[in-house]
Copies of this chain bind each other. A is one copy, B any other.
Amino acid sequence: MASSGSWFDSCSDIQGVLLDISGVLYDSGAEGGVAIPGSVEAVKKLKQSGLSVRFCTNETQCTRDHLVTKLCGLGFPVQREEVFAPAPAACIVLRDRNLRPHLLIHPDCRPEFEGVDCSSPNCVLIGDATDEFSYKNLNEAFRVLVGLQDPILISMGKGRYYKETDGLTLDVGVYMKALEYACDVEAEVVGKPAKAFFLAALQDMGVQPQHALMVGDDVMNDIGGAQSVGMRGLQVRTGKYRPEDEHHPSVHPDGFVDNLKQAVDLLLQHRGQ
């Protein structure tokens, strides 16, 4: 673990970079959120460097299309095909296993599930539903689960919280834990830190894990998840980062940087670019 530029000496073999979005590119919040200073230029430089770049998000408050539109509006050069998000991944799981979900998700994420059969649900699928996480709605999801012989709970992420422009905010993982406890089940996570999620993005880049770097603000889901498939994980001190993260009991980031700008500058500098 290194807190300065020295660690980047070992990064000359990096061929692909996965970037978390919220807390690395921008802080979400009212009126679309704000770009983190230096991040727009950093993404541009990274994409111009010849390294493969993908965006790996657990965002489920909106569709992937909407997210891309928002990021482009903030000045980020991002294309739909470069973004890996839990909702499209969840749709594949539902289809492959013939699952009919009871959805407890954000209204703006619903279009991702258009055409999915939700009649007589045989599982519950939750996302970052924010205000939709009312007592009534959580109870409804609970009743579906508790009524199933083999309760299946699928959660689009397991994050504890993220940073909005007005402060830290509860994430979907908190409600996943609530339903797990209520029904004595273990949720299946789609999105970070699930290995399959990172591997799909790596496969799309055509890069082996040992040649790939994840940059994120979530020590468990970004760094721990990436390391679990053999990638390196670089923690930024933006977004939900808190100083305690540098002494996490189980996850030890390969490196720390103040922000994405510093990460990209050091990475390219140590590649001689």
Q: Which residues of A are in contact with B by a Cβ distance under 8 Å?
A: 129-136, 138-139, 142-143, 146, 160-161, 167-170, 173-175, 177-184
Most interface-central of A132, A133, A178, A183 (chain B CB within 10 A): A178
Copies of this chain per assembly: 2
A selection of 15 A-B contacts at a CB cut-off of 8 Å is A132-B135, A133-B138, A134-B135, A143-B167, A146-B168, A160-B181, A160-B182, A160-B183, A161-B182, A170-B178, A170-B182, A174-B181, A177-B180, A177-B181, A178-B178
Contacts A160-B181, A160-B182, A173-B181; A135 near B146 (Cβ below 8 A): no
Query: Are A170 and B138 touching (Cβ within 8 A)?
Result: yes
Query: Are B168 and A142 touching (Cβ within 8 A)?
Result: yes
Most interface-central of A131, A135, A169, A179 (chain B CB within 10 A): A135
- A174 CA to B168 CA in the complex, in Å? 21
- A51 CA to B179 CA in the complex, in Å? 40
Q: Within 8 Å CB of A133, what residues of B?
A: 134-135, 138
Q: Within 8 Å CB of A132, what residues of B?
A: 135
- A139 CA to B173 CA in the complex, in Å? 13
Q: Within 8 Å CB of A134, what residues of B?
A: 131, 133-135
Q: Within 8 Å CB of A136, what residues of B?
A: 131
Give A168 Cβ to nearest chain B Cβ, in Å.
6
- A228 CA to B144 CA in the complex, in Å? 33
Give A177 Cβ to nearest chain B Cβ, in Å.
4
